[in-house]
Amino acid sequence: MIKRAPLVWGKKTYKDITDDISSLVENVPGLPYFVTLLTAKGVLIFYLCVLAAIVVTGMGLMGVNSPVGWGTDIVTFVFWIGIGHAGTLISAILFLFRQKWRMSIARSAEAMTVFAVMTAGLFPILHTGRPWLAYWLLPYPNQRGPLWVNFRSPLIWDVFAVSTYATVSIVFWYIGLVPDLATIRDRAKNPLRKKIYGILSLGWRGTGRNWNHYEMVYMLLAGLSTPLVLSVHSIVSFDFAVAQLPGWHTTIFPPYFVAGAIFSGFGMVVTLMVIIREVVPKYKHYVTLNHMENMNKIIMSTGLMVGYAYGSEFFIAWYSGAPYEQYAFVNRAFGPYWWAYWTMVTCNVFIPQLFWFKKFRRSIPAMFIISIFVNIGMWFERYVITVTSLHRDFLPANWGMFDMTFFDFGALFGSFGMFFTLFLLYIRTLPSISMAEVKPVLYVNREEGDKINVFG
């Protein structure tokens, strides 16, 4: 019989779990938290200044041109939607498969999904060049005569898919929070805090009827969320795949994008979990090296899938005998943007293979650095797909280059300021580990002799 490590370290009691997880919400956090938050807020302020300059002056500040009409905004939009995939995967699919190791990381992964989708949503609106007219993009009854959105366009499918995904993810995340919000409410000494958390906890009393309804709703939302994991990024991939453009028009894109989204999403979860473990040292007993190692195994596996997709693209282009398709992929690897292509391959395929070695899978510095490289590589994947397919058309007279400007870099790096600011405010105001889910797995894989008075 295989002996597995316990899911919670440190011989905790139920009271210890409540105290440890509530501590960041109830008490003033330490210096590492404030330093991290101020850094993120500084980047956010810079981001808002960049967005204001682009909106006031126009899209000419960015690098988009003819023939590269899709630039940093679309690349970064697809990147952030991909980041949001791991949250629903960890919460919904692993929940349905009864994977108990998900308990400590699920809530932060769900929050990551919500904040990543919020960050992504700004970029298509910014890309229109006139964001104050964005309401024209929505299909609602209007008095503008025959003007209506084109329902045959995958860009409209994006609106429905991403908005549905965001709505379900927010509801799923919030429903999971309710029992823990009631715990914070009951422990609160400040009347205002007690009132706020009382409203947010929806009158939860922890009765058998409450738990019965909670578990039923949570199961239904998990089942509803599961197909969204596959559908959302498949529909995002249709933005490219339905176009009659060499390098885009390929049937491998939906599964390829889904695998890449899970890959980058887990990379960001690892990054965030490392930060949480350092900002709140008590959380190391709940987000253990075993949790991190399991996520690193998924990163390694999906990295192999992404590498297989890269190879398949070249094989199918060669096997098709279509000269334009063949040229598009040769140009990716050996044309003017060769550096972007090989950065993508190195970060997404070669570097994650270090996780074959246990010492890398269980090393916090190593996994943090590799997770950063994973997300660098996944941004470059979207960059390569978008730019290299557009910059050389069928006619050499239409060829051009896409050069990122200061405002492209500002919008890209500034978006991380928005994401991390939201995430850090979340872990300060809401329990970032589910007390209600960790307590039932307290004794999973623990030796009989280690059992102590669970109530402290």
Please spell the DSSP secondary structure of 170-214, one letter per residue: HHHHHHHHHHHHHHHHHH--SHHHHHHHHHHTTT----HHHHHHH
Residue 140 lies in a domain: no
**pLDDT of amino acid 456:** 47
State residue 233's pLDDT score: 85
Which pLDDT score is estimated for 39? 94
State the total domains in the chain: 1
In a domain, 1, yes or no: no
Residue for token pair 């126009």: 58
Answer yes or no: is 177 within a domain: yes
Say how far apart CA 149 and CA 334 lie, in whole Å.
39
Q: Is residue 4 a part of any domain in this protein? A: no
10-residue mean pLDDT profile of the chain (456 residues): values are 70 85 86 90 96 92 90 92 82 82 86 92 90 79 70 84 89 92 91 93 91 91 85 89 88 90 91 87 86 91 93 91 90 93 95 94 93 95 93 86 93 94 92 87 59 46
Q: Identify the residue whose tokens are 């429905």.
A: 160
Give the pLDDT of residue 446: 57
Looking at residue 146, its pLDDT comes to 65
Give domain status of residue 23, yes or no: yes
The distance in angstroms from the start CA to the end CA of the chain is: 31
The closest of 291, 293, 296, 294 to 267, measured between CA atoms, is 296
* Cα gap 411→51, rounded to integer Å: 7
Provide the CA 434 distance to its chain's centre, in angstroms: 19
- Structure-block tokens of residue 379: 């941004």
455 belongs to a structural domain: no
Instruction: Assess if residue 143 is contained within a domain.
Output: no
Query: Which pLDDT score, from 0 to 100, does residue 449 have?
Result: 41
Please check whether residue 71 is in contact with residue 389, taking contact to mean a CB–CB distance below 8 angstroms: no
Q: Are 399 and 369 in contact (CB under 8 A)?
A: no
Residue numbers of the domain that contains 364: 14-135+150-442
User: What pLDDT, on the 0 to 100 scale, is given for residue 75?
Assistant: 94
pLDDT at residue 452 in the model: 46
Report which of 317, 221, 303, 318 is spatially closest to residue 267, judged by C-alpha positions. 303
Asked, for residue 9, whether it belongs to a domain, the answer is no
